[in-house]
Amino acid sequence: MKQSKTTRIYKRAGVKYALAHQIKKIKPKIRRNHNYQSLMMFVSLIKAGYNPTFYFMLKKYHILLESKASVEFITQNYDIIKAWLKSQSFHEAYANHPYPPLLDPKTLDYTRISPQVAWDLNLPLPPYYKFLLFGSHATGNRGFQTFLWYCKGLDYTLIKYSNQWDSWAKQAYLCYFLEIMRNYAYISAPPPRNTLGIY
C-alpha cells in the first residue's frame, strides 16, 4: 500500500518536517478562503486607522479588498468614497444593485486607477469604447475580427490562462481593462479632467 507524502516525510525526518509540509500544503487553500480574506481586510483597515463601521459598510456592498494598493487608495480617497456612498445619485442608480461601485463611474478618471484597484472597488470597465462583441467558436467571430482589423479597428482577444489564485472573471476584467486603457485615445475622447480630485 502506498503511503502519503506526509507519512514518508514523518518517517524520514520527523514530526517537525511533516507538520511543515502539511502547513505548506494547506496554506494556499486558507488564503483562498473567503473568511480568511475578510478577516485580513478587517485587520488591514484597523491598522490603517479606520473605524470598524467602515469595514461593515464595505461588507454591506460586497467589497472585498484583496490588495494593499486598494487599502491605500481607499485611505487616500476616503472622504470622496464616503460622500459618493451617501449621495442621492448613488441611491438612485445602485439601490438594488448587488455589487455597487465605490466611486462614481461617470465622473471617474480611469487613467489614475490600476486594474486591481478598479476590480476591488467594483468599478465597471472604462467607458472608452464604442461597442463590445462577445462570441464563441463557430459563430463567425474570426471573420468579424478580420473585418475589424481591415477597418483599423481594435480587436481584443482574451486568451484564458490558468492562475490558481484568481478567478476567470477577474482575469478577464483585468485583461479588458488594460486593453481598453492602452488604446482609449483611439476610441473616444479623453477622460474628464480631475473631476474627483483623484491622482
Alpha helices by DSSP H, 14-140: 15-32, 34-47, 52-60, 68-76, 78-86, 88-94, 115-120
- Burial status of residue 121 (CB atoms within 10 A of its CB: 0-12, 13-18, 19 or more): buried
Instruction: Note the pLDDT tens digit of each residue in 28-80.
Output: 776 667 677 777 778 877 887 777 777 787 777 777 777 778 878 887 888 88
Widest CA span in the chain: 69
Confirm if 121 and 58 have CB atoms less than 8 A apart. no
Do 23 and 92 belong to one domain? no
Mean pLDDT of 8-32: 77
Q: Are residues 106 and 154 in the same domain?
A: yes
Q: Residue 67: CB partners within 8 Å, gap ≥ 6? A: 116, 117, 120
How does pLDDT run across 162-181, given as a tens digit for each residue?
Answer: 555 567 778 778 888 887 88
**CA atoms of 173 and 163, how far apart (whole Å):** 14
Structural domain for 26, as ranges:
1-30
Number of domains composing the chain: 2
Mark whether 96 and 80 lie in a shared domain. yes
Q: Is the pLDDT of residue 187 over 60?
A: no
Residues 57 and 9 in one domain: no
Residue 90 lies in a domain: yes
Q: Are residues 153 and 177 in the same domain?
A: yes
46 contacts 52 by C-beta, under 8 angstroms: yes
Within this chain, do residues 78 and 126 fall inside the same structural domain, yes or no? yes
Q: Which helix (H) or strand (E) holds 175?
A: helix 168-182
Mean pLDDT of 173-192: 68
**Within a domain: 196:** no
Task: Identify the residue with better confidence: 27 or 115.
Answer: 115
pTM: 0.64
Q: What is the mean pLDDT of residues 149-157?
A: 66
**Integer CA distances (angstroms), 30 to 38, 55, 57, 63, 66, in order:** 12, 21, 24, 19, 14
